[in-house]
Structure 1
């Protein structure tokens, strides 16, 4: 994923290629689907994090780097949960929900 992102950012033209994508119905459907997924995941991140600043940073990275960031966030959440699913899902709010 890292290699593909670097390739796209260095070799592609976002505005030219983006306008072509947005001119096609399935391109629009794909982008709406993608960003609905990003938005839903971002809502979970906002819920898990106590810090508004951390939430904003994570959401910004999700919107720019996509599921690369989501994968990284899930990895960190799994590592910090210490095999406790409540801690995984509730994050920093775990003590509030327990």
Structure 2
């Protein structure tokens, strides 16, 4: 689990730096228009959002609160995998080293673990 934590933390910091660089050095609307005019730009966007949708499905499964789930999904839609990296950190902490609890969240109690 420490490896997953290290990976999530590294991804969080890398995405933080990349987003800061993009917001301070780029022109989101002008460059976004160029990106969406290219087939591989569109494919990259589709790839990012399908990955985000899969991750959002996992969050929806793990969480019992619709409000918490909605907040995380909005963050994923707006900030991409910066948000997924951030979500993993408290999910790991609350799992207390239990891989099944990490993946299933509160649903683990409903599973017979014998």
TM-score normalised by L of structure 2: 0.79
Structure 2 Cα separation of the partners of residues 9 and 93 of structure 1:
38
Offset of residue 79 of structure 1: 1.3
1:76 partnered with 2:75 = no
1:46 partnered with 2:60 = yes
State the Cα RMSD in Å. 1.3
Alignment of 1:1-98 (within 5 A): 1-98=15-112
TM-score normalised by L of structure 1: 0.90
Gaps of 5+ in 2: 1-14
Offset of residue 2 of structure 1: 1.2
Provide the secondary structure at the position in 2 that maps to 1:86.
helix
Offset of residue 93 of structure 1: 2.0
Gaps of 5+ in 1: none
Higher RCO, 1 vs 2 (CA within 8 Å, ≥6 residues apart): 2
Offset of residue 86 of structure 1: 1.5
